[in-house]
Structure 1
Amino acid sequence: MEQAVLEMVGISKEFPGVKALDGVSIHVKRSEILALLGENGAGKSTLMKVLAGVHQPSSGQIKINGKEVSIHGPKHSQELGISIIYQEFNLVPHMSVAENIFLGREPRLITGVIDRRRLRDETRQWLEKVGLTALSPDTLLANLSIAEQQLVEIAKALSFESNIIIMDEPTATLNEEETEKLLNIMRDLKKQGFGVIFITHRLEEVEEVADRISVLRDGKYIGSESIKNITRHQMVTMMVGRELTDLFPKLQGPYEEPALTVERLSVREYLHDINFTIKKGEILGIAGLMGSGKTPLSKALFGLYPHKEGTIKVGGKTVNTPREAIDAGIALVTDDRKDEGLVLGMSVYENLLLPSYRRISSFGVLHKRNKEKIVDRWIKALNIKVHHSSVEVGTLSGGNQQKVVLGKWLQMDPDVLILNEPTRGIDIGAKAEIYQIMKELAEQGIAIILISSDMPELLGLSHRILVMSEGTITAELDKEHFDQETIFQYAAGGELHV
């Protein structure tokens, strides 16, 4: 066998009361893309932090190009040729692209002053490798799109002249076009001889670019397989340890009674003449490319964006503000659970109760027994994996954090639930649980607006799909007319189709 550029052999890592890794072994060769798979909490991030020098292993060996090494910290990891691109970017918004790429390593003149010309020239070389040829090195990072910032992160990683590139959920915030561009860059890195470790929950991307998979579950190594010799179904079974037969549950038909009606809604430059009705018990999918107006629509329906024209009505109540939305029975699960959906430094208990303090207080007094009853109910109902409700919500896995966001709104007994990217960045097992919760909520008569860039999710869960482009609805499709090509056609600006 060709010598691996990286081997991690028998890696274990223990924290007080927790064995996060238990004898894990993986390897990656030059010119190979290894997909590291597993549910949230499987140990992937801990293993990568060991590789990055953030954590010291309790036991085990790390070999680079066949030579055993001890990694003493993040800087030492980089010196050994390892670069990790985390899901949360390690960039400084108020600095330029060049300053971000060479932060702390700026080329200097003999006088000690930064050599600006050389800094720009070297930055252009690395930007060219990731396809950002038109981008000026002097551009402020804050002025870039998320996709461009992602590519700057990759350029920064390459500038360390690494042999091993680890990408942690690199496509989680990208649209379809941007994702394809990033996958092509991964293919180019492979051709240039890099060993790439690709961490993702999107198995269609694994099938597209990976050469091999390795699977972790509950901190243990489960197995590896060539991508040519394994099906997507087999990957899922390895990850969750059980058969997931019907990922998308069978839905009942919606009720006849309307839950929410939107007429001629326009919001500044975001939305133009939006009209639709959703029935009780219906799951209405909203499709569209990035910038199509999906997220502004979710915020406008919740009263966060004042509308200059049109009306939003729930059961005869008109919605103009978030308080009116909550009182009318609208709940919003945003696409950014960490910044908008949760207060990460607060406990699961406090987050679950956030929207309901006004409702559950009696003359301004909150009764402990009532609060505990609500919290216990939703931890059990949503199967939130937490040993105690006092734990900080920021320490939970992505799937469990999303369930906390769901729980905090469901205990308000909403009539309309808006879910914006509800399964972004969570594993297949947690997805299946959330899909089942959605089915049960719809059967109870709750109207669900599902905004998602995951096409199988939209097709598998929706009764109807509205397609948006440039702030307008370009198509309304029923289940008999669902297919990816048709949706993309209208998302790219096709004519209105009902």
Structure 2
Amino acid sequence: MSDYILEMNRISKEFTGVKALSDVTFKVERGEIHCLIGENGAGKSTLMKVLSGVYPHGTYSGDIVFEGSVQNFGKISDSVKTGIAIIYQELALFPDLTVYENIFAGNEVKRGALVDWNQTIVQAKQMLQKVKLNVNPETLIKELGVGKQQLVEIAKALSKNVKLLILDEPTAALNENDSENLLELLRELKNQGITCIMISHKLKEVIAIADKATVLRDGRTICTLDASKGEISESIIIKNMVGREIDDIYPKRANKAIGKTILEVKKWSAHDPQLGRQVVKEVNLHVKKGEIVGIAGLMGSGRTELALSIFGNPKSYKLQGELLLDGIPRTIKHPSEAIKAGIAYVTEDRKGDGLFLIQDIKSNVTAANLRAISSSGVINVNEEVKVANQYKNNLNVKAPSVEQIVGNLSGGNQQKVSLGKWLFVGPKLLILDEPTRGIDVGAKFEIYTIMNKLIDEGMSIIMISSELGEVLGMSDRIYVMAEGRIKGELSIDEADQEKIMQYATQ
């Protein structure tokens, strides 16, 4: 007989008439790693917020049964006291406090009425050992990388005697080594009797770690897959996530009509005065009309710095070298000049740099080209709505209307709005920096299809991506960067993952 630590029965949740969850059933056995998967907007995070008390009892219907008892969590602290801890993608740490202060924030070790700081440090060291993080507990959080901060979050959860640990996209911002270390830690926690729920878009990670995986689609439970029965495979997961089979996640273009060179940089270097060093070193690169040029490389290789230096240099690097557009030497000193020259840049950080999250879709879509919908400095609201609806429909943004606040959209739909914003400026060259980071396989397919359509219409694309499958699946030609330099150039016919990694690690 199954020993369920958690049962969520017939959970339904609405937001202003929109049903986010509909009769969801979700069961987790004690001591297992259970992945919760689905497209953006499927209801995964909403379900976990119901479980953790972010959405309190009374705001949803259905029952939460934890360790055999029905729970009516009114706030997050109620679920924490019961032994449930949730770690979100955006880490909830205090950057200017120490590691030990963060681990026991709100759960202070006290002697009488006073905090016992010596004992706090001792216990913090014990928690750090559990998560295999070798740092001084007196280190400030802001001095740690994202991977180590993630481990501090887990140590914080363990300090509260957690029984069920929930991780929402825990590896989204981590490199491959940090991601693998985190997955190995979850396996060790499982051996210690801690049950884990992990939300992830990375199917390889799900396949590698999940004992079971539950798929949500459109706010409903579709199925629960069991690894012991061989049910957790990429094809089965995708079919259940999107409701159809995606035989080729990277759609092919029927006709490749590659034309003349539209962008070329020669001996292009960028010096970052804040870091006091060169971040781009004597790069030679060109892009032709109707071509997708992939730029691969490890984190810190200089890919984003190269893109920013081309797109009007917003970081104020000291630049050297030559930039040519349509064969004509150009000096572009500001992003506004890059836009006028026909260059657009979709940032890797859509939430931090790419979008105004508190504003609606129409305001975001038109933000980079307000002159096109203005007269005498006054925005034509009717024209703004018309333009926004055009991109909403063309890019298949799933939202009730263009009045929808962008911060309330799923990651995939936010990315489409960010893309629409830059397409509205009418670029000849579109730079996409990590275009599918943090979005699900169905939304990725839609982004790839949009890219192919843009190329067919005569646009050119530079695509920066950390996913080698994506680089190989979508590019016509690939540059590989390491330490700020181009280490290799590969045609798509000769490229493979091994060659890319050889260049990337030189």
| Class of the TM-score when normalised by the shorter of the 2 chains | over 0.9
Residue pairs, 1:5-84, within 5 angstroms: 5-55=5-55, 56=57, 58-84=60-86
2: CA distance, partners of 1:144 / 1:421: 23
1:314 and 1:329 in contact (8 A); partners too: no
Following superposition of structure 1 onto structure 2, how do residues 79-98 of structure 1 map, counting pairs within 5 Å?
79-98=81-100
Q: Hey, what does 1:450 align to over in structure 2?
A: 463
Could you say which residue in structure 2 is the equivalent of 1:307? Answer: 318
Of the three residues 289, 305, 325, the one matched with 2:298 is 289
1:448-491 CA-partner distances (Å, limit 9, x unpaired): 11111112111100111111111111111111222112211211
Task: Verify the 8 A CA contact 1:254 1:279 in the aligned structure 2.
Answer: no
Residue among 226, 244, 260 paired with 1:257: 260
Alignment of 1:403-442 (within 5 A): 403-442=416-455
**Residues 378-437 of structure 1: CA deviation (Å, up to 9, x unaligned):** 111111111121121111111111000000100111011111111111111111111000
Letter in 2 for 1:267: A
Residue type at the aligned position of 2:126: Q
Aligned equivalents of 2:12, 2:382: Cα separation in 1: 42
- The percentage of aligned residue pairs carrying the same residue is 47
Structure-1-length-normalised TM-score? 0.96
Aligned twin of 1:132: 133
Q: What is the CA RMSD across the aligned residues, in angstroms?
A: 1.5
Describe the SS at the equivalent of 2:422.
helix
- Could you say which residue in structure 1 is the equivalent of 2:332? 319
Equivalent residue number for residue 157 of structure 2 = 157
Query: 1:211 maps to which residue?
Result: 211
CA displacement 1:89-141 (0-9 Å, x = unmatched): 1111111111111112221234x3322211111111111122212x1111111
Q: SS at 1:481's partner residue?
A: coil
Q: Post-superposition shift, 1:254?
A: 4.8
In structure 1, how many angstroms separate the alpha carbons of the residues matched to 2:258 and 2:373? 30
Q: CA deviation at 1:351?
A: 0.6
Corresponding residue pairs, total: 491
Deviates more, 1:362-371 or 1:272-281: 362-371
3-state DSSP class of the match of 1:250? coil
Is this contact kept in 2: 1:81–1:164, CA < 8 A? yes
Deviations 1:246-274 (A, max 9, x none): 22111343523112111111111211111
* 1:267 pairs with 2:270: yes
Secondary structure of the residue aligned to 1:193 is coil
Q: 2:216 is aligned with what amino acid?
A: L
Gaps of 5+ in 1: 494-498
Which digits, 9 at most, give the CA deviation of each residue in 1:318-349, with x for residues without a partner? 32321221111111111110010001111111
Q: Deviations over 1:277-328 (max 9, x none)?
A: 0111111111111111112112111122333311223232432321221111
Residue 243 of structure 2 corresponds to residue 234 of structure 1:
no
More divergent stretch after superposition (28-37 vs 308-317): 308-317
Change (3 A) 1:361 1:68: closer
- 2:352 corresponds to which residue? 339
Deviation at 1:194, TM superposition (A): 1.2
Structure 2 counterpart of 1:256, one-letter code: G
The 3 A distance-change label for structure 1 pair 254 and 91 is farther
- Shift of residue 53 of structure 1? 0.7
| Residues 107, 115 of structure 1: 8 Å contact kept | yes
Name which of structure 1's ranges 300-309 and 71-80 shifts more when overlaid on structure 2. Answer: 300-309
Normalised TM-score (structure 2): 0.94
CA contact (8 A) 1:302 1:325 kept: yes
Structure 2: where are the runs of 5+ without partners?
A: 272-277
How far residue 238 of structure 1 moved from its aligned partner, in angstroms, is 0.6
Shift of 1:216: 0.8
- Report which stretch shifted further, 210-219 or 60-69: 60-69
What amino acid does structure 2 have at the position aligned with 1:39? E
> How many angstroms apart in 2 are the aligned matches of 1:326 and 1:16?
38
Shift of 1:231: 2.5
Distance across 2 between alignment mates of 1:67 and 1:136: 40
Superposed displacement of residue 67, structure 1? 2.4
The answer to whether the 8 A contact 2:287-2:460 is kept is yes
For 2:48, what is the secondary structure of its paired residue?
Answer: helix
1:330 to 343, 353, 377: 343
Residue 359 of structure 1 deviates from its aligned partner by 4.1
1:489 maps to amino acid: Q
Q: 1:131 is aligned with what amino acid?
A: K
| Alignment correspondent of 1:496 | none
CA distance in 1, matches of 2:456, 2:131: 47
SS in 2 for 1:417: strand
2:116 maps to amino acid: D
Deviates more, 1:345-354 or 1:362-371: 362-371
Q: Does the 8 Å contact 2:213/2:232 carry over to 1?
A: no
Alignment check: 8 A CA contact 1:300 1:307 kept: no
Cα shift at 1:163: 0.8
User: Could you tell me how far 1:193 is from its partner in structure 2?
Assistant: 1.2
